[in-house]
Amino acid sequence: MMDTRQAWVNGRFVPWNEARAHLLSHSFARGSAIFEVIGFHATPSGPAVFRLRDHVGRLLKSAAFLEMQLPADGPAICRAVTETVRQSGLSQGLLKIRAYYPQVALDIQPPAAPLDLAVFALEASQDAHDPGASFEKGTTAGIARWRKLDPETIPLEAKAAANYLNGMVARLDARKRGFQDALLLDTQGFVAEGPTESVFAVKEGVLMTPCLGTVLDSITRRSILEAAGPLGLKTFEGRLRPERLFEADEVFFANTPFKVMPVRQLEHREFSPVPGPVQTRLARFFERVTRGDEPEFSHWLHPA
């Protein structure tokens, strides 16, 4: 199926299988690629990209943190994304933006050249992190023995490929113990996030999440916090001990592909009902927004 698709690479569409970089490229060998994963959704007026400008803005910040030069500015990258959606023929799915050094480079320092830029459109099912998890069933999570990367070691706000080795080993550790997913603590023992997800807890109607500093500034996390007020939910951002999650009424993960994923079990603690009432309200809210049925949040949708 994907063999017949095309990808946008440096201003033109190329066959899917020709979107390549050399095995000795800096971004392959050193993990120096930066990226974004963005959802696009079916609306009555056609496909719309969720918070496109916010995602592209974060890509620009990632490049700045790592002293990289992108080959295009924000508006040009937005145009590349919308062109990719139109060319794909898909009404909804996921977009992956990759900015990378394609040149052969043996040194740890990157080439003195702008990054290459590529955009791919995928069906959402092709990026499912666990086919056994769903909103209705939820997922299970164990606290990984590996800690979240410390912000004094690398710029955590950069969405860089190398940073995600941390999440990979955390999830591998959790799955060896029979859990579907992982929860990482920071180096001080406070709750951080999942391998590719923000984490939220609900206690007596208050929506709690770790504060920025040791976690990614997730667009979905930001969306949930911005929606909380209109939905009548109180919020708390701060440093959370793991015990706060075990005492919670609901715990859930949040990211671009699934927006809200209930955790039905965290280590020994089982949650019921799943999905919980706050999770259900948030999921229904995102369904309305992505259909174009929430006028107050219509600015989150960028027509393709």
Question: Of 73, 163, 181, 159, nearest to 117 (Cα)?
Answer: 73
Tell me the CA distances in angstroms from 56 to 15, 40, 173, 294, one per residue in order.
24, 14, 32, 23
Sequence ranges of the domains in the chain: 2-127, 139-290
pLDDT tens digits for the chain (304 residues)?
566 789 999 999 999 999 999 999 999 999 999 999 999 999 999 999 999 999 999 999 999 999 999 999 999 999 999 999 999 999 999 999 999 999 999 999 999 999 999 999 999 775 555 666 789 999 999 999 999 999 999 999 999 999 999 999 999 999 999 999 999 999 999 999 999 999 999 999 999 999 999 999 999 999 999 999 999 999 999 999 999 999 999 999 999 999 999 999 999 999 999 999 999 999 999 999 999 999 999 999 999 9
Distance of CA 228 to the CA centre of its chain: 19
pLDDT, position 263: 98
Structure tokens that stand for 170 in this block: 């955390």
Residue 114 CB neighbour total at 10 angstroms:
15
pLDDT, position 5: 87
Evaluated on CA atoms 296, 136, 206, 194, the torsion sign reads negative
pLDDT, position 127: 57
CATH of region 2-127 = 3.30.470.10
CA distance 4 to 15: 7
The structural architecture, per CATH, of the domain 139-290 is: Alpha-Beta Barrel (3.20)
Which DSSP category does 171 fall into?
H
pLDDT, position 1: 58
Question: Of 218, 109, 204, 111, nearest to 157 (Cα)?
Answer: 218
pLDDT, position 146: 98
Q: For residue 275, is the peptide bond before it cis, meaning its omega torsion is within 30 degrees of 0?
A: yes
Query: Whole-prediction pTM value?
Result: 0.95
